[in-house]
Structure 1
Amino acid sequence: MSPRLPKYWPLAAAALLCIVPAAHAQRVSAKDRAASDALVQRMSAAEQRYRDALVLAANGDPKGTTESNAALEDMEDVVDACVKQKGCPLSDVLATWKRLLKAEVDAAGEELDEDPGEEGLLEADTALAADIPEAARAARLLGDDHRHTFDRMVEFNPAIQAGIRRWLTDMRPQLMTSYENYRTMRHLMWPEFERRGLPEALLFGIMAKESNGRVHAVSRAGAAGPMQFMPATGRRFGLGPDDSGFDSRYDPRSAAMASAAYLNERLRQLNNDLELSLAGYNGGEGRALRVHRQSGGTGFWNASVYDQFPAETRDYVPMVIAAAWIYLHPRQYGVVFPKVDAQPAQLRLTRPASIYELTVCLGNSGNRDGYMRALRNLNPRYEAEAWIPAGTVLSATTRIVGLYHRHCEHGPRADLARALVTANVNAAIVSDTPAGNVAVGDLVSLPGEVAAPAPAPAKARARTHRVAKGDTLGRIAQRYDCEVKALARANGLKAPAYSVRQGQQLKLEGCGS
């Protein structure tokens, strides 16, 4: 959330404007003039500091709020000093307040429109443009209206309209889920596209179509993460298992950085044809480049090009563009995106917990679906059922942190959550074996001796498990009293998804039963 001017500013500004004195008739000394000039410069610097803080806040940087408050306090000090300083041009100083008040009103109007646009989008830095050719291309496209860069990069046609219809009917729940997930991760992903001169709407459209914003999504073909990179392509752009075994394709920031770099590579190869670049993202860069060369640079929507891509790609391109279009023009289609409290914050665990346990004790105040997806997306290294040690710092939001301190550190809901996530299904099974003695012959105890009880037959220990429909590795580990990581290691399953398929035979090494 962007920092706001204090509520009393309009009244204070109006009052101060009323006390601005008429032009000073008296002469002003050089010393007073120098002091007045210093105050004007100080006010200008504070204004710039405040505007820089707005940019930080728009990018999800917690320093934005601190910086904006400090800038406002400095402005108030300048006004106080200007009133007391002989010769100080109070009307010039107050002009800064008027500009910020107007910006505040304009921002409020945009919020009423409920059009997210490309908030906080900065015009491409000239140094960045020199380093990244595609950033220069985007800067030229920005022109005077940089909020809707994407509109000018694509062709709006009946295929896009059909895609919009699908997102607004059968796929509306996925669209809303994608938006909620994106807003939580925006501070991690959007800066990577912004630095490379690519519009935010494009990032949202790709992510919505690829994964609905679920960082642990894995396709049947092996593509993984919020931007769905295949292993080989991911390695080209720095994604893959690190020293700890974590696959950075699941990391939102790394995935967005790789995605932006990949798209700019396609755009350079394909004469800045965004539709064809998206076709390469989905249908293979080699195919896209070959078709582009064979067609002499003909656009994606020409039949000679369009027909050379598989049906999946012909569907993918308009669906990405349609999602991006709705993101930019929600009011036009009657879309009201959910309000998401996604101010980034850090959460230090005061006791061991799993994401499952946190999800239960946090509840769903302020979020219909609760906070499991947000916690998983912001902390992709942790499995949902894995116990995380006390003292660990998790990425979260300010709302999650507040709910944690209220409900999860101690108390009845914290205890209930612990009981629910540690519940053992096997404990519910009641033995139906008849009780009683079984005759084994005439046994005579010698005086002073106590007959030793017959040893209980050893329970047969399961060695394998065939994965049934709905099974997850966590549930299987809980059933057989296994460590999830040990079970995954024994079966060659990769973190963090630990995906299993129906019918797969798992070795139960190191399990208790």
Structure 2
Amino acid sequence: MPYRHAARSLCLASLVAALMQLTACASGASKPTPASASLNALYGQLDQASQSYETALQQTRAGDAEGAQKTLDQALDQLKNSAAQCGTTPGCDPQRFFSVFDHLLRLKDGSFIGDQTPNEDTGEAATTSLPGQAGGAINPSEMQRSVTLLRGHQLSELIAMNGPVKAALEMWLTQWRSNLMDAYVNYEYLRQEMWPQYQQQGLPEALLFGILAKESGGKVHAVSRSGAAGPLQFMYATGLRFGLSEQDGFDTRFDPGESARANAQYMNEQLQAFNDNLELTLAAYNGGEGRMRRLVGDDTSVSFYDPRIYNQLSQETRDYVPEVLAAAWLFLHPDSYNLHFPQMNNETGSITLARAASISELTVCLGSADNHLDGWFRTLRNLNPRLDPQQEQPVGATLQVPKSLEKAYAVRCVNGPWPILASDLHNAIVPVVPDAPPVAAPDPVVHYTVRRGDTLASIVRKHGSCSSSSEVARMNNLKFDHVRPGQVIKLPSCH
């Protein structure tokens, strides 16, 4: 690939040198133990990946795009394998692997062209943290997921050279940016219920976020025009198949934890059917697994974008797959796209009502507490999915709230003017307009009594121009258009 900023190679080389120095320092023990020997071996693989990065840069500058691509692919595979071992090796620093992976990946997809990452000039290791973390080193299992995403399939291979996904990235970063940010905030408060379900099934959190962002934006009570319901939009029959049903009048499709569990089970079922092809699995989730299996047949290695598959799908499904992948990618790498998710304290607490109140009333009296300018209605609904937001809950009822609201509730919603205002607004009387009496539909036919001297033709003429003699004859089973005085016949209504 063309490299338009060759001068940047000095910065990149310094980064590689810094990474290599970190590796050398980590392996400098005078008398290695078995544990340190394993660690040194892993850091040796990291060293090789860093050298491959420099080699790929040189190949790119020399115009050998094919050679550079091969070098990068080999380095990414090597890094993936060593990263998988880092999580179980004492003393292993996953941040080093993540930093090298991030640079290899962004060289692979060309995003270094005209771009520069923080700390590149100094050669210092990046301090990237995953969404939802306050900062510092990434959890090894999370770092591994960001490298491989799904059973050895690198998400970068679905992203880097993919036009539809790049177009979806632009949409999330522009027209849908506010939707993405809302989805992130909503997800953060639901994370402790949803993420463990995915984690238990061995699925990456980024995938969960991508589906949630596209399906509902993290609105637990979302219902589509087709009847799909809940944060992950299950159809009723599919939900039943995975244990989502009515419980004491509550549809558990709206329960975030149960919905995530069912979704994870569904994804694993379809991943097995489609040989871990994530794109085909997502297409099945949106367009129906039966249809996808008929289209794919026995060739589960077929690309989602193969015309035999892609051209037979609805436009909704063709858009859905790259949009989910793009949201998942942004969840993992926001900084690479000049995107900054808000730093949040998503710890959940609870309040015991000191006075009867509905979720709507609590939203009014809490206002913009904790600098939450959009108010707390959506979050309170999401955390208490079984409650009608307009129904007052009695004194002593316990509600789930963000931990940061426990003190705000005590200050704002127990005494003072705000709960009084909230109650006054909530109990406002709206005039009820009685339903208008139903208007009888006009009779589709009229009845006419034949007079002496009438013929069918003369009756039709007197009736108007909305019928004909033959039509009236058929309506009355008349033969030869014969009528007799006193006979009652039907005529089409002209109104």
TM above 0.5: yes
Partner of residue 144, structure 2: 145
Structure-2 change in CA distance of 1:360 and 1:117 (3 Å): closer
Partner of residue 373, structure 1: 378
Q: How does 1:241-252 map to 2 (within 5 A)?
A: 241-242=246-247, 244-252=248-256
Report the residue type matching 2:131 in the other structure. P
Q: CA–CA distance in 1 between the matches of 2:126 and 2:154?
A: 24
2:185 is the alignment partner of 1:180: yes
SS at match of 1:402: helix
SS at match of 1:155: helix
Contact 1:148 1:328 in 2 (8 A): no
2:230 is the alignment partner of 1:231: no
Report the residue type matching 2:148 in the other structure. T
Q: CA–CA distance in 1 between the matches of 2:127 and 2:378?
A: 28
Question: Could you tell me how far 1:251 is from its partner in structure 2?
Answer: 0.5
2:406 is the alignment partner of 1:401: yes
Question: Could you tell me how far 1:286 is from its partner in structure 2?
Answer: 0.4
2:354 is the alignment partner of 1:382: no
2:327 is the alignment partner of 1:323: yes
Partner of residue 289, structure 1: 293
Question: Could you tell me how far 1:296 is from its partner in structure 2?
Answer: 5.5
Partner of residue 168, structure 1: 173
Partner of residue 275, structure 1: 279
Contact 1:117 1:147 in 2 (8 A): no
Report the residue type matching 2:186 in the other structure. N
Question: Could you tell me how far 1:411 is from its partner in structure 2?
Answer: 1.2
Question: Could you tell me how far 1:424 is from its partner in structure 2?
Answer: 2.0
2:461 is the alignment partner of 1:462: no
Q: CA–CA distance in 2 between the matches of 1:360 and 1:167?
A: 31
2:221 is the alignment partner of 1:216: yes
Q: CA–CA distance in 1 between the matches of 2:241 and 2:144?
A: 35
Q: CA–CA distance in 2 between the matches of 1:188 and 1:283?
A: 27
Structure-2 change in CA distance of 1:297 and 1:393 (3 Å): same
Number of aligned pairs? 311
Partner of residue 361, structure 1: 365
Partner of residue 419, structure 2: 414
Contact 2:132 2:344 in 1 (8 A): no
* More relative contact order, 1 or 2 (CA 8 Å, 6+ apart): 1
Contact 2:132 2:343 in 1 (8 A): no
Structure-2 change in CA distance of 1:210 and 1:179 (3 Å): same
Q: How does 1:75-224 map to 2 (within 5 A)?
A: 113=128, 115-116=130-131, 123=141, 145-150=144-149, 152-153=154-155, 155-156=158-159, 157-224=162-229
Q: CA–CA distance in 2 between the matches of 1:316 and 1:296?
A: 20
Q: CA–CA distance in 1 between the matches of 2:234 and 2:437?
A: 31
Q: CA–CA distance in 1 between the matches of 2:409 and 2:147?
A: 39
Q: CA–CA distance in 2 between the matches of 1:310 and 1:465?
A: 44
Q: How does 1:31-50 map to 2 (within 5 A)?
A: none
Query: Which structure 1 segments of 5+ residues have no match?
Result: 1-98, 124-141, 427-459, 467-513
Contact 2:274 2:300 in 1 (8 A): no
SS at match of 1:315: helix
Report the residue type matching 2:368 in the other structure. N
Q: What TM-score results when the alignment is normalised by the length of structure 2?
A: 0.59
Report the residue type matching 1:152 in the other structure. Q
Partner of residue 339, structure 1: 343
Q: CA–CA distance in 2 between the matches of 1:231 and 1:323?
A: 26
Question: Could you tell me how far 1:118 is from its partner in structure 2?
Answer: 8.4
Structure-2 change in CA distance of 1:271 and 1:338 (3 Å): same
Higher-Rg structure is 2
Report the residue type matching 2:354 in the other structure. T
Contact 2:132 2:188 in 1 (8 A): no
Q: CA–CA distance in 1 between the matches of 2:366 and 2:271?
A: 44
Q: CA–CA distance in 1 between the matches of 2:378 and 2:347?
A: 16
Query: Which structure 2 segments of 5+ residues have no match?
Result: 1-90, 99-123, 439-495
Instruction: Tell me the alpha carbon deviations over residues 62-98 of structure 1, each in whole angstroms, 9 at most, x when there is no partner.
Output: xxxxxxxxxxxxxxxxxxxxxxxxxxxxxxxxxxxxx
Q: CA–CA distance in 2 between the matches of 1:465 and 1:307?
A: 52
Question: Could you tell me how far 1:148 is from its partner in structure 2?
Answer: 3.5
Report the residue type matching 1:210 in the other structure. E
Partner of residue 430, structure 2: 425
Partner of residue 447, structure 1: none
Q: What TM-score results when the alignment is normalised by the length of structure 1?
A: 0.57
Structure-2 change in CA distance of 1:345 and 1:276 (3 Å): same
SS at match of 1:347: strand
Q: CA–CA distance in 1 between the matches of 2:267 and 2:328?
A: 15
Instruction: Tell me the alpha carbon deviations over residues 316-341 of structure 1, each in whole angstroms, 9 at most, x when there is no partner.
Output: 00000000111111011100112222
Question: Could you tell me how far 1:418 is from its partner in structure 2?
Answer: 1.5
Q: CA–CA distance in 2 between the matches of 1:225 and 1:349?
A: 27
Contact 2:221 2:230 in 1 (8 A): yes
Q: CA–CA distance in 1 between the matches of 2:351 and 2:437?
A: 37
Question: Could you tell me how far 1:464 is from its partner in structure 2?
Answer: 7.8
Q: CA–CA distance in 2 between the matches of 1:146 and 1:229?
A: 26
Structure-2 change in CA distance of 1:296 and 1:337 (3 Å): closer
Report the residue type matching 2:357 in the other structure. A
Q: CA–CA distance in 2 between the matches of 1:261 and 1:408?
A: 41
Counting aligned pairs with the same residue, the percent is 44
Contact 1:356 1:384 in 2 (8 A): yes
Structure-2 change in CA distance of 1:361 and 1:118 (3 Å): closer
Contact 1:295 1:305 in 2 (8 A): no
Question: Could you tell me how far 1:293 is from its partner in structure 2?
Answer: 1.2
Q: CA–CA distance in 1 between the matches of 2:125 and 2:344?
A: 16
Q: CA–CA distance in 1 between the matches of 2:167 and 2:203?
A: 25
